[in-house]
Chains A and B, each alone.
Chain A
Amino acid sequence: DAGVIQSPRHEVTEMGQEVTLRCKPISGHNSLFWYRQTMMRGLELLIYFNNNVPIDDSGMPEDRFSAKMPNASFSTLKIQPSEPRDSAVYFCASSLATLPTDTQYFGPGTRLTVL
């Protein structure tokens, strides 16, 4: 298996622009997680899906952030409009389910820089 795939790996954009991050989970995994990592705040869970349905989006910082999972093999995290403080590494992870014994498999991350 190729593991969790994220694109793009690096994104540089200007403030006010729309940014879309993409994730392909491991085939057969029913849960998908979006995280954000910064030096100041560490690794934060933004939102997670189970069977393509958003279960908890309480970590989404504000309305500028939205996430979708139209099918079991694809998810997007969109920021509109982007701001410099959104600069971070965004990770997508997937797992078989959300049982406490399930392992999360992380993608390589997307490094976002908002100028």
Chain B
Amino acid sequence: DAKTTQPNSMESNEEEPVHLPCNHSTISGTDYIHWYRQLPSQGPEYVIHGLTSNVNNRMASLAIAEDRKSSTLILHRATLRDAAVYYCIPIGYNTNAGKSTFGDGTTLTVKP
């Protein structure tokens, strides 16, 4: 399975953009890059996913490097409610969605 590396923690000020990096250098060509986040005392929730192209949705943007060995989750204007643990997870036809491994993630702190 593809391994991921994320910083343990990051801080941001409220209403400023946040860039959360993830390295996945062993990702296979058919693995999708998923991001989930876990708010305090809740289960993880889906944020966004992509394969090769950059992706946008109402929650965030996902920028995928051209070689696909890294990606960056972008929160355009962080709010206090965005404080959570963010997980980057490669999921593919070979790795099988059931084998998705959440890893340790990045704990994002948002300061008012």
- A residues contacting B by CB (< 8 A) are 4, 31, 33, 42-43, 45, 48, 50, 55-56, 91, 93, 95, 97-109
The CA of A104 and the CA of B92, in the complex, are separated in Å by 14
Say whether B43 contacts A101, CB under 8 Å.
no
Residues in A with CB closer than 8 Å to B43 are 4, 91, 93, 106-109
Say whether A106 contacts B45, CB under 8 Å.
yes
Say whether A56 contacts B91, CB under 8 Å.
no
Asked whether A55 and B49 contact (CB < 8 A) given A42-B103, A100-B30, the answer is no
6 extra interface residue pairs, beta carbon distance < 8 Å, beyond A43-B44, A48-B98 = A31-B97, A31-B98, A33-B98, A50-B98, A93-B43, A109-B43
* Residue interface bits B70-112, CB-to-A below 8 A is 1, else 0: 0000000000000000010001110111111111110000000
Chain B, 37-78, CB within 8 A of any chain A CB: 38, 42-46, 49
In the assembled complex, the CB of A55 is this many whole angstroms from the nearest CB of chain B, namely 6
Can you name 17 A-B residue pairings with CB atoms under 8 Å? A33-B98, A42-B104, A43-B38, A45-B99, A48-B98, A91-B44, A95-B97, A98-B98, A99-B97, A100-B30, A100-B92, A101-B49, A105-B46, A106-B44, A106-B45, A108-B43, A109-B42
The CA of A86 and the CA of B14, in the complex, are separated in Å by 38
Say whether B102 contacts A43, CB under 8 Å.
yes
Say whether A98 contacts B96, CB under 8 Å.
yes
The CA of A69 and the CA of B96, in the complex, are separated in Å by 20
Say whether B45 contacts A45, CB under 8 Å.
no
Interface centre among A42, A43, A91, A99 (most CB of B within 10 A): A43
The CA of A108 and the CA of B46, in the complex, are separated in Å by 14
